[in-house]
Amino acid sequence: MQVSRALFDDVMVPNYAPPAVIPVKGQGSRIWDQEGREYIDFAGGIAVNCLGHCHPAPVRALQEQSEKVWHLANVMTNEPALRLAKKLTDATFAERVYFANSGTEANEAALKLARRWAFNEYGEHKDEIISFERSFHGRTFFAVSVGGQKAYSDGFGPKPGAIRHAVFNDLASLEAVISDKTCAVMMEPLQGEGGIIDADPAFIKGVRELCDKHNALLIFDEVQTGVGRTGHLYAYMDTGVTPDILTSAKALGGGFPIGAMLTTAEIASHLKPGTHGSTYGGNPLACAVAEATFDTVNDDALLAGVRTRSEQFKHGLEAINARYGIFKDIRGKGLLIGAELIDEHAGRAKEILQAALREGLLSLVAGANVVRFTPSLVIPEADIEEGLARFEAAIDSLFGTVAKAG
């Protein structure tokens, strides 16, 4: 069968618009397409490929588990799931883990748990969930409605009720809507899809205090920030604040689909048998790969390397900006980095992404005005330099004459 981009239009639902490039091989921080052209990967499968492509640790785990047991469903537990859960609880505040297949499913579980906890502890009136404008929590209808971007949830009929939104990094805005009817506040410690916006330390502490005041749970969505992405195992570990529930996915499986919800034993006790579940959640293959990935990332030297690479990345972007002057801000933590365009070039982030692809570089956007970078946590420093050179070539192809003249 001849596989080409045209086949996508013939057989796939048109909710995506991929470029003509079809990757067929990956190794480390580089991939190759059907024609053998090489690309440096600054996208990392949207913050998923935390160890790059075909890292030996998860590859070996997958191969070994594939010859043992693939699937059991939730009627039985399995060794990889239990080992991974033990390592997650040993390394975090959590005492209990629920496994799902994706970030949105982990968030769905977190939201349902918060509602059930509040119902059991306080009654049916305590059902309100608050999140923040520009937040993103996944694509299931509950999770996408909790997310603070109406463009993703409008047009699908009546939305789930008792959901309110406040302004991120504005404690007064949250204080105006939170009440004793609030069962949970869900937030990203660093907004990803919303534009790589870091939460102010005082804001995070204030959110925790307001949750405590109103007997509401604090849910941290660490689907994108977790498993080393910010230079810490989980971003909450650098905030001085501990959530009641945390969700993890993306990098957790290093490329194999898996999600997890982490919480305390007391809160977890409200999900009795039959209240929630997943056929594939805790799949032995997924958990074996995730365990190998987690073991590799949960290392002080690797996490320190993420912070070092972050500085290299930001300094490189700042040097490019010094020559072209097209970014108003370069921000982020670890290897979750955003470059926001100046007002003059607002809305052209996707155009930059496309130009970068032509130069042999994979990158991302976070909205219309922010170019996003989420490469492998172990990307070689030489690949960062080469990738930034290709990025500068893309910038020059679009803005060179104008920018230099300015």
Residue 289 labelled as part of a binding site: no
Average pLDDT (48-72) is 97
CB 223 within 8 A of CB 194: no
**255, 272, 297 - which closes a domain:** 297
Q: How many CB atoms lie within 10 A of CB 403?
A: 16
The verdict on 70 and 46 lying in the same domain is: no
CA-to-CA distance for 335 and 327, rounded, in angstroms?
Answer: 18
Phi, psi for 7 (deg, rounded to 5) = -65, -30
CB atoms within 10 A of CB 205: 15
247 has binding-site annotation: no
pTM given for the model: 0.96
Percentage of residues in the chain having pLDDT higher than 70: 99
Whole-number mean pLDDT of the chain?
96
**154 annotated to bind ligand:** no
402 pLDDT more than 60: no
| Chain segment 221-268, per-residue pLDDT in tens | 999 999 999 999 999 999 999 999 999 999 999 999 999 999 999 999
124 and 249 both lie in a single domain = yes
The pLDDT of residue 405 is 45
- The yes-or-no verdict on residue 129 having pLDDT over 70 is yes
Domain residue limits at 9: 5-54+300-405
User: What integer pLDDT is reported at residue 149 of this predicted model?
Assistant: 87
406 or 385, higher pLDDT: 385
pLDDT at 323: 95
The verdict on whether residue 170 carries a ligand-binding annotation is no
269 labelled ligand-binding: no
Distance in angstroms (rounded) separating the CA atoms of residues 122 and 120: 6
* Structural domains counted in the chain: 2
pLDDT confidence band for 403 (50 / 70 / 90): low
- Of 348, 347, 327, which Cα lies nearest the Cα of 339? 327
Same domain, 289 and 312: no
Does residue 76 surpass a pLDDT of 90?
A: yes
Per-residue H/E/C for 323-374:
HHCCEEEEEEECCEEEEEECHHHCCCHHHHHHHHHHCCEECEECCCCEEEEC
Last residue of a domain, one of 266, 282, 297: 297
Q: Say if residue 232 is in the same domain as residue 313.
A: no
Whole-angstrom distance, CA of residue 110 vs CA of residue 262: 9
pLDDT at 210: 98
Q: What is the mean pLDDT of residues 278-300?
A: 97
Residue whose C-alpha is closest to residue 328's, from 374, 370, 385, 389: 370
| Same domain flag for 291 and 304 | no
Which residue has 């949207």 as its token pair? 46
Name the residue among 264, 235, 236 with its Cα closest to residue 110. Answer: 264
Band (pLDDT 50/70/90 cuts) for residue 404 is low
Whether residue 284 is found in the same domain as residue 378: no
State the catalytic residue, choosing from 250, 256, 313, 399.
Answer: 250
Higher pLDDT, 1 or 200: 200
Identify whether residues 290 and 326 lie together within a single domain. Answer: no
Strand 38-41 relative to strand 245-248, pairing: unpaired
| Residues 166 and 221 both lie in one domain | yes
Q: Token match 């971003």: residue? A: 235
Catalytic, 250? Answer yes
8 known ligand binder: no
Q: How far apart are CA 346 and CA 294, in angstroms?
A: 38
Taking only the tens place, the pLDDT of each residue in 80-98 is 999 999 999 999 999 999 9
41 marked among binding-site residues:
no
Are 250 and 312 members of one domain?
no
User: In the prediction, which pLDDT does 152 show?
Assistant: 87
Residue 279 shares a structural domain with residue 312: no
Q: Provide the CA 11 distance to its chain's centre, in angstroms.
A: 28
Ligand-binding site membership of 136 (annotated)? yes
* Domain at 38, CATH number: 3.90.1150.10
pLDDT on residue 148: 87
Q: Is 242 labelled a binding residue?
A: no
What is residue 354's predicted lDDT score, i.e. its pLDDT?
97
Catalytic residue among 42, 99, 132, 136: 136
Q: Is 221 a catalytic residue?
A: yes
358 and 369 both lie in a single domain:
yes
Single residue among 297, 316, 334 that ends a domain in this structure: 297
* Structure tokens belonging to residue 41: 């990967």
- 63 with 23, same domain: the answer is no
Catalytic residue among 221, 244, 256, 391: 221
Q: What strands, in cross-sheet order, belong to the sheet with 38-41? A: 23-27, 30-33, 38-41, 361-362
221 is in an annotated binding site: yes
Residue 370 has pLDDT above 80, yes or no: yes
